[in-house]
Amino acid sequence: MLKKIILLGMMGSGKTTIGKALSKKIQLDFYDTDQIIEKECKLKIKRIFEKYGEQYFRKKEEKITLKILSYNKSSVISLGGGAFLNKKIQKQILKKTVSIWLKPNFKTIYDRCKKSNRRPLIKNNCDLKLDLKKLIKERYPFYSKANLTITLNKTPKFISMNIIKRLKKIINL
Ligand code: S3P
C-alpha cells in the first residue's frame, strides 16, 4: 500500500528535523518542500522572497508540493508552514495522505523563530510574539484538519517514536 506521511505546522515546529528522523526510522524516502524549492531556484527561501516576492514563492510551493504528492512512491514529506493553506495542496493531502500536525507549545515556536534568521516572514524589527500569534490564529483552523496532532515538546527522536506508535494504529507500517 502506498504510504504518504505529511508533516505540517508552524515555522519552528520541527517539521524538517522530525521528518528526517521519522523517514529514517521507517525507511521511507524523505522530501522537504522548502529544500526542493531552494535547490530548484538555486536560492535560499529568504532570497526568493526578497527577489521575486511571496506570490512567486507560493506558486513554486504549489507546483513542487503537488508534484511530490503525485509520485507513486511511499514517503515522508515535510511542508513549509504556509503550504497547507493552499486549497489544492490541502485537498490532495486530505484525500490521499496521512497528515500530522506538529504542534509544540507557543514558547517552543517563539524561541526557535527568534533564533532563526532564515525565515522571510520574520522581520528583524517586528513584534515577533504578535506576528506569530496572528499567524497561529489564521492557520490553526487549517492545521487542525490533519489526521493526527502531536503536542509534545520533546526531542525529535522521542517525537518520531511517538508518531510511529500512533501511525501503527491507523496504517500498516
Ligand atoms: C513559511 C514557512 C517556511 C517557508 C517560508 C514560508 C510560512 O517554512 O516555507 O518561509 O509561510 O510559514 P518552515 O515552516 O519550514 O519554516
Whether 132 lines ligand 1, by a CB cut-off of 6 Å, is no
| Length reported for the chain | 173
pLDDT of amino acid 20: 98
pLDDT of amino acid 118: 86
Pocket test for ligand 1, best of 41, 45, 65, 134 (most atoms within 8 A of CB): 45
pLDDT of amino acid 40: 97
Q: Which of 123, 139, 113 is nearest to 46 (CA)?
A: 123
Average pLDDT per 10 consecutive residues for the chain, totaling 173 residues: 96 97 98 98 97 98 98 98 98 98 98 91 86 97 98 96 97 92
Report helix, strand and coil shares of the chain as percent, to nearest 5: 55, 10, 30
Q: Which of 153, 146, 152 is nearest to 170 (CA)?
A: 146
Q: Could you tell me where the DSSP H helices lie in 71-99? A: 87-96
pLDDT of amino acid 124: 75
Contacts 24+ apart (CB under 8 A), 53-59: 54/120, 58/82, 58/86
Q: What angle do CA 149, 154, 156 make, to 5 degrees?
A: 85
Whether 121 lines ligand 1, by a CB cut-off of 6 Å, is yes
What is the Å distance from ligand 1's center to 1 Cα? 30
Pocket test for ligand 1, best of 34, 47, 118 (most atoms within 8 A of CB): 34
